[in-house]
A and B are shown apart, each in its own frame.
Chain A
Amino acid sequence: MLSRAASSLFWMARYLERAESQARLLDVSLTMALIDVPEDREEQLSVPLLVTGSKEKFDELYGEITPQNVIDFLLLDDRHPNSVYTIFASARDNALQVRGNLSADVWDSINLSWMELKELRETGVTESSASQVFDWTRARSHIFRGAAYGTLLRTDSFHFLRLGTFIERADTTARVLDIRHQMALKSEEGQATQSFFEWTALLHSLAAFEAYQQIYGHNILPMNVAELLILELDVPRSLHACLREVVALLEQVENGEARKARRMANSLYANIHYGDRDYIAERGLHEYLTDFLERIQQISGQIQQDYMGWQA
C-alpha cells in the first residue's frame, strides 16, 4: 500500500488510542481527587498532566490546579497538543488523508465522534457533566474498534492501523504505571489505605481493575499490579499483550526486506515474554519502564522508517 497511507493509518490509530487513554486518565484522577485528603488533591489532578508531559503548558495557561481547570485544559483546549479535542482533531485529519483506504463505517465512526466533540466544545464540560463525557469517549472508542474489526479487509491497511493502536497502548501503560508507581511509593511511606487507593486508581485508569480482582483477589500488592500490567498476557493493556500483537502484526505486513523493526520488536518481546517479577524487581520498576519506553519509541521510529520513509 501507499507509504503515506500506511503512515496516516498508523497515526490515526495512535491518536484515537491516545484520546481514549487521556479520557480514562482524567476520569480516574478526578475521582481520586474526590477521595483523597484535601492537601493531596492537587497532586492527584496533576497526574494526567505529568503523564502527557503538559504540566508546564498548563501552568502557563491556567496556573491554578482545580478540577474545572484540568477538565478544560485536558478535554477541550485547542491551544496545546494534548487535549482530547486536539488529539482527536489530529486523528480525524489523518483519517481524512486516508479516506480512500477506510471503510464507510470506520470513517463514519470517526467523523461522527468529531462532530459530537465539536458540539461538546460549544456547550462546554463541567465537573458534574464530565463523567458523561468520559462514558461517551469510551463508547465512541468501542464503536471505532468494532467498525475496524467488523468491516476492514485484513490487508496492510488493517495491520498498520493495529500497529498504531498497540504501540500507543504499550506506551501509555508504561507511562501511567511509572508515574502511579512513584506516587504510590511516596504515600506508602505515609498510610497504607492511601496506597491502596493509588493502586486501585492505576488499575482503573488502565481498565484492569476487574482483571486484578479475578487473578489476585482483593489484596492489592504493588508487585502484583506491576506483574499484571507488564507480564500478564491475558490483560489487553499489558505490555506483554501489546508487544505480542506488535510482533505478530509485523510478521503479517508485507515486505521481506524490512527486518530491522521486526528484530527490535522481537527482542523487546522476548525480554518480556521470558521475564518474571524477580527480574523486574531486581532492575527496579522505574528503570525497567524507562528502558521499555525508550525501546518502544525506537520501534515506532523504525516502523516508520522501514515502511513509510522515503528519501527524496
Chain B
Amino acid sequence: MLIQTPDEGLYDELFDENHKVRPHCRTLENWLMNSDESLITEKRREANVLFQRLGITFNVYGQDQGADRLIPFDLIPRVISAADWQKLQAGLRQRVNALNRFLHDIYHNFDIIRAGVIDAEQVFANPQYQPGMQNLKLPRNLYAHIAGIDMIRNNDGDFYVLEDNLRCPSGVSYMLENRRMMMRLFPELFAQAAVAPVDHYPALLGETLRAASLNPNPTVAVLTPGRFNSAYFEHAFLARQMGVELVEGPDLFVRQNRVYMKTTVGPQQVDVIYRRIDDDFLDPLAGNPDSMLGVPGLYAAYRTGNVVLANAMGTGVADDKSIYPYVPDMIRFYLNEEPILKNVPTWQCRKPKDLKYVLEHLDELVVKEAQGAGGYGMLIGPRATQKEISHFRDLLKARPHHYIAQPTLSLSTCPTFVDEGVAPRHLDLRPFVLSGKKVQMVAGGLTRVALEKGSLVVNSSQGGGTKDTWVLENDQC
C-alpha cells in the first residue's frame, strides 16, 4: 500500500526528515507496505461491527436509538520507542507527584504561596478552589489518584504537556479496547513487534483505589451519571473489569455520615468511590441543588473521613489554564528537581512584561481565556484577520488578567487510513497516571487523531478518531 509522505517542517512519527523510516517503526512500515488495501478496508469494516457489538458507542441526546455512534478507530498504530517512553514515564511520575503535593499544600499550609512562587489570588480566587477542602486529611495525602496528561510532540521532536486532567479524565477504555481490537484483527503483527501490554490497567486501577482507603479491605464502587452519559461504556467496563459495583447516585444513601449502597441484602457501606461525576454534581446539599446525579449528604460523609473520593474534591484548581504555567515551578519547589517534561511556554497577560510581548506578537500567538474552556473566546493569531487581532488587542488592554497566550505549536503527524489512502494526520497522546502506594501507569495511553487534513482538533466531538498506541519494549526490531 502506498503511504503519502509527511509535510515539510512537521515531525512525523513514522518517517524522519529525510523520509526514511524511523528504525523503531520498521516492523510497522513493512507490514503497511505489504498489506493490500482491500484487506485493510475489510478489516476496518470488521472493526466497526465489533465495536458496535461491544456497545462502545454513545447516544446523542434526543435522537432515535438507532443513532448509536462510534468514535472512528484508525487501524494504523502509533509507535513510541522504548527510549522515548522511559523519559515520558519518568516525567509523568514527577509531574503528577508535584501536582498532588501542590493540591495538598494549597489546602493546608500554603507553603508555595508563602514562598512567593504563586500569587495567592491565582489560587484562592480560582473558581475551582474548594475552601471546604482546607485541612481535610486525606489518606496518603493523595488528591489526583487518576490523572490523564495530554501531550503533543512538537516539530522539534520533543513531547510537551498541553494540559493536565485531574478531575475525571476519560478515554482509558478506548486505549484498552483499541489494543484488543488490533490483536484480534492482526495477530501476526504482534508476533513480530515487542509491544508492551496495557491489559493490566484495570488491575492497577483497582489496586490504586483500594490503596486510597485506610481500611485494609475496602469496598469500592464506581459512580456513574448513568447510561445516557457518553462515557457510560467506560464506567461499566472498568467496574466489570475490577469486579466492583457500578452505582448511580440513587443507589447510594448517607446515614450518620457513612455512605451505603442499596443491595438485595440491605445496606452495605462503601469506602471508596471512583466517581465519574463532577464536583458540583456530587451532592445536591453542597453543590448544585438541582443535581439528580449525586448523593445528598455525601460531602458531609467525605468531610468526616468515612469515605474516600477518587479523585478528591477540588482538584480542578490544579489543572486550570491559569495554574498550568506554574507546574515546572511546582516541580522545582516541592521535589527540588528539574522538570523532565516540557510545558508549552505561556505568557500571562496580567504580568506587564508578558502583556507587552503578547501585544507585539499577536499575529503569531494563540490567546486563550485563562478560565475559559472548549475553545471559546480564543484568538489563533496566524489564522486571524486584522480586525480580529485589533479586537483582541483592545480586550487584552482592558482585562489583561483574563488572558494567557502561547505560541502556535505544530502537532506531530502519523500515517492514517483516510478516504484518500494512507496520509499523515495530526495526533496527541493521553497517558493515564495512577497514584496509590506508588505512582504507576501502563505503557501507552490514548492516541487521538484529527481525521481531517491539516486539522489540529483531535476531539471526538469534532471528528477526531483514535489509534492503538504502541510502546515498544525494546527498540531493536
Contact = CB atoms under 8 A, between A and B. Distances in A.
B264 A112 contact: no
Interface string A76-112: 0000000000000100010011011110000110011
Given A100-B240, A108-B53, A115-B52, A2 B265 contact: no
A65 interface: no
Nearest to B52: A115
Interface stretch (A41-49, A180-188, A203-211, A251-259): A251-259
B246 A99 contact: yes
A1 B263 contact: yes
A307 interface: yes
Given A2-B245, A4-B251, A111-B53, A308 B236 contact: no
User: What band does the interface of chain A fall in when counting residues whose beta carbon is under 8 Å from B?
Assistant: 20 to 34
A123 B251 CA distance: 40
A112 B266 CA distance: 35
Contacts of A1: 245, 263-264
B273 to A, nearest CB: 14
Contacts of B236: 99-100
B227 A96 contact: yes
A310 B101 CA distance: 42
B100 to A, nearest CB: 29
Contacts of A118: 65-66
Q: Residue among B239, B247, B265 with the most chain A CB within 10 A? A: B265
A68 interface: no
A100 B222 CA distance: 10
A254 B52 contact: no
Interface string B78-95: 000000000000000000
Q: Residue among A99, A102, A115, A254 with the most chain B CB within 10 A? A: A99
B55 interface: yes
Contacts of B237: 99
A3 B264 contact: yes
Nearest to B221: A2
A168 B290 CA distance: 38
B222 to A, nearest CB: 8
Nearest to A307: B264
B55 A111 contact: yes
Interface in B182-239: 222, 227, 232-233, 236-237, 239
Contacts, number: 67
A2 B52 contact: no
Interface in B231-280: 232-233, 236-237, 239-240, 245-248, 250-251, 261-266
A4 B55 contact: no
B53 A253 contact: no
A272 B390 CA distance: 87
B263 A3 contact: yes
A67 B148 CA distance: 58
Contacts of A71: none
Contact of A3 (B65, B240, B246, B251): B251
A156 B264 contact: yes
A100 B202 CA distance: 13
A149 B20 CA distance: 55
Contact of B248 (A4, A112, A254, A308): A4
Given A3-B263, A4-B251, A156-B264, A100 B52 contact: no
B128 to A, nearest CB: 30
A15 B259 CA distance: 33
Interface in A254-296: 254-255, 257
Nearest to B222: A100
A257 B233 CA distance: 35
Given A99-B55, A100-B239, A100-B246, A310 B262 contact: yes
A99 B264 contact: no
Nearest to B243: A100
B293 to A, nearest CB: 14
Interface in B161-178: none
A6 interface: yes
Contact of A2 (B53, B66, B227, B261): B261
A5 interface: yes
B236 to A, nearest CB: 4
Interface string A1-25: 1111110000000000000000000
A112 B261 contact: no
A99 B245 CA distance: 10
A97 B245 contact: no
A107 B56 CA distance: 12
A93 B233 CA distance: 13
A232 to B, nearest CB: 32
A87 to B, nearest CB: 14
A6 B240 contact: no
B65 A89 contact: yes
Contact of B240 (A99, A108, A308): A99
A5 B245 contact: yes
Contacts of A2: 245-247, 251, 261-264
Interface string A147-178: 00000000010001000000000000000000
A107 B240 CA distance: 12
A257 B266 contact: yes
A7 to B, nearest CB: 9
Given A3-B264, A255-B264, A100 B55 contact: no
Contacts of A101: 240, 246
A105 to B, nearest CB: 11
Contact of A107 (B55, B66, B239, B265): B55
Nearest to A6: B264
Contacts of B246: 2, 5, 99-101
Contacts of A93: 227
A160 B264 CA distance: 10
Interface string A231-263: 000000000000000000000011101000000
A310 B264 CA distance: 10
Contacts of A6: 264
12 contacts: A1-B263, A1-B264, A2-B245, A2-B246, A2-B247, A2-B262, A3-B251, A89-B65, A99-B240, A99-B246, A255-B266, A307-B264
Interface of B: 52-55, 65-66, 222, 227, 232-233, 236-237, 239-240, 245-248, 250-251, 261-266
Given A2-B264, A6-B264, A99-B240, 16 more contacts: A2-B245, A2-B261, A3-B251, A3-B264, A99-B236, A100-B245, A108-B53, A111-B52, A111-B55, A115-B53, A118-B66, A253-B264, A254-B264, A254-B265, A255-B264, A257-B266
The 5 closest A-B pairs by CB, nearest first: A100-B246, A99-B236, A100-B239, A307-B264, A255-B265
